[in-house]
Amino acid sequence: MNAFLKLSLGTAALLAVGFQACKPKNTSSAVSGDAAVKAYVPPGKYDEFYNFVSGGFSGQLSVYGLPSGRLFRVIPVFSVDPEKGWGYSEETKPMLMTSHGFVPWDDLHHTELSQTNGEIDGRWVFGNANNTPRVARVDLKTFRTAEIIELPNSAGNHSSPFITENTEYVVAGTRFSVPVDYANGDVPISTYKQNFKGTISFISVGKEDGKMDIAFQLLLPGVNFDLSHAGKGPSHGWFFFSCYNSEQANTLLEVNASQKDKDFILAVNWKKAEEYLKAGKGKKEKVRYARNTWDESTHSGKHEILEEVTVLDAVALKDICYLIPCPKSPHGCDVDPTGEYIVGSGKLAALIPVFSYTKMQKAIAAKAFEGEYEGIPVIKYEEALHGEVQKPGLGPLHTEFDGKGNAYTSFFVSSEIVKWNIKDLKVLDRAPTFYSIGHLSIPGGDSKKPSPKYVVGYNKITKDRYLPTGPELAQSAQIYDISGDKMQLINDFPTIGEPHYAQSAPADLISKNSVKIFKIEENNHPYVAKGEKESKVVREGNKVHVYITAIRSHFSPDNIEGVKVGDEVYFHVTNLEQDWDVPHGFAVKGANNAELLVMPGETQTLKWVPEKTGIFPIYCTDFCSALHQEMSGYVRVSPKGSNVPLTFSLGKNSSDAMSKENNSNGH
Ligand code: K7E
Ligand code: CUA
């Protein structure tokens, strides 16, 4: 215990000092001049950008407007969301299936918008799962998760979901090295060096449909892969990954993985890997991983388990991988818009190394290596180095670019954003953040064509920025205007979960393709009712299928009898509306389930197993019309073995003449 305290002291003190030192006395004085005007989007006016923000430990992705900071939507991705029925409806449950079964939560760190020719194309946004390693693809026509693929031979997927310039691949590097799935993993933890491996997955993305497939995995020595970015322009064909724990420690990484002065940036020649793959040098390995896809015509997810992956041994197969030394626990690994400069950010470093792609190529050609690490050539630091930014701040994490030759780097320890020139490496400006910034984002800031209007900082600590809300405070984003030479703070907004990376796209690019309704005639759900006439209740053994429709302001049917205790009741709710922004909700008293929220033209299913006899109300949860409160109904549950016949009706009132349906009481 004592040893632990002593060892931790160094890092803790550094963080504490850094944090305290940069806390301004009067934070409100940080906003000045015309800031309010710049961030103000008048009621009824649209924002300039969509800002897609990772939700961290919420597992979701949230969408804000820039520069207003208004929250538009939370897109459920890796975590269940009772508000939208995500992970609760029968259709969405398959989307959260993995090789470990149903996993209701994850930790989403990075969002990445798809690109064409190195520019944001507005089609998809990808997200990574840091816990049970997965990559998700969200369709920006519907703002829904369209696909989730799991990664075998991995544990934690952090250096992800970064993409190549035409979205040929999404990558995923394992954060925790572990024994591969196809080897015996029941080994002592102390055998890290022998048995633990690092893998990097290259996931191909279908040009038209976006469908994801693991094209190949690279097998590497056991280290922790952290972040990554693709080359672009001249460096297209290469991918760069930061990694730490080259010490290969398996305990107290805080200390033991910070022993060496330098870890590495791994440069991957993925075109070379493709050649080896074509030449049949990959080994097909037996593994198990999930791929879940959403079908928009059946409004259902499909879960499949895949059983094979192609692995390339990136140590034995030469010229795929090279290492570049990078000081003090590298984190961010960012490539500038020209594709020439690679910025490595060491979490404990007090300088920023900038590497040159051209120099790296020359060094490889000249074999200017300082040796090997676990069989991979290590390029001499100076031979790949363009230069170092001197005294930029403390604890550089991430860098984005403005396309005008400048870089913006976030500094966690000294709580600031620092602007510097890529060519001459001179610091040009610095702005405090409140507090302890993690990622930062400029619209298009990791693409070939940034829109350098704003930089948004995503902070880890919010202390004293908002009204106190008990021990936990919302985390916070801050928007700076960067249209001038100096950064100007113009707005703060709280975020959902913990924001890590975020990306923004021009509003038009996304809004022009936004789906408003699903066409009811194109609904191919097996239990759809395309009109009230098709609504019905069908018993199959102990399963009861309710084909129920919703339209302002009633369900059809709204009286159901003949359900018995222990039945599996499936309410297949079809929303018959064909108008924008008219969802109907659906809930049942006592169901061990969430609500459904059904979009116009869509069918979603709520499963309910009644455990008691009685009358159970159903109702619409989404205020859809003046008579929304009236949008309700009743289900009668009778004992197991009762002979109450299965009946259903709409509009047969008890005050009407007694009908066969409502008279059937089983006596
Ligand atoms: Cu820096 Cu997980 Cu991208 Cu967060 S990581 S800050
Ligand atoms: Cu439908 Cu409220």
- Over range 561-582, report the average pLDDT: 98
- Whose atoms come closest to the Cα of 630: which ligand? 2
Q: Is-contact 234 357, C-beta < 8 A?
A: yes
pLDDT digits (tens, 9 = 90+) for 217-261: 999 999 999 999 999 999 999 999 999 999 999 999 999 988 888
What is the distance in A from the centroid of ligand 2 to the CA of 302? 28
pLDDT digits (tens, 9 = 90+) for 602-652: 999 999 999 999 999 999 999 999 999 999 999 999 999 999 999 999 999
Dist. CA 254–CA 260, nearest whole Å = 12
Dist. CA 446–CA 343, nearest whole Å = 12
- Over range 201-230, report the average pLDDT: 98
- Which ligand 2 atom is the nearest neighbour of the CA of 622? 2
pLDDT at 308: 98
Q: At residue 660, does pLDDT exceed 80?
A: no
Q: At residue 26, does pLDDT exceed 80?
A: no
Indicate the pLDDT class of residue 23, thresholds 50, 70 and 90: very low
pLDDT at 32: 74
Q: Which of 126, 162, 228, 397 to mutate to test the pocket of ligand 1 (most atoms within 8 A of CB)?
A: 397
What is the distance in A from the centroid of ligand 2 to the CA of 529? 18
What is the distance in A from the centroid of ligand 1 to the CA of 226? 9
Flag the least confident range among 444-448, 589-593, 660-664: 660-664
CA-atom Rg of the chain in angstroms = 28
**% of the chain with per-residue pLDDT over 90:** 90
What is the distance in A from the centroid of ligand 2 to the CA of 626? 9
Q: Is-contact 65 72, C-beta < 8 A?
A: yes
At 58, list the tokens.
């919420």
Alpha carbons within 13 angstroms on the beta-carbon side of residue 298 total: 11
Indicate the pLDDT class of residue 655, thresholds 50, 70 and 90: low
545 lines ligand 1 (CB under 6 A): no
- Over range 46-71, report the average pLDDT: 98
Q: At residue 553, does pLDDT exceed 60?
A: yes
At 206, list the tokens.
């279908």
- Whose atoms come closest to the Cα of 497: which ligand? 1
pLDDT at 5: 35
632 lines ligand 2 (CB under 6 A): no
pLDDT at 664: 45
pLDDT digits (tens, 9 = 90+) for 291-306: 999 999 999 999 999 9
Residue 24 CB neighbour total at 10 angstroms: 12
- The pairing of strands 437-441 and 427-432 is unpaired
Q: What is the DSSP secondary-structure string of 101-163?
A: EE-----B--EEEEEETTEEEEEEEEEEETTTTEEEEEETTTTEEEEEEE-TT-S-B-S-S-B
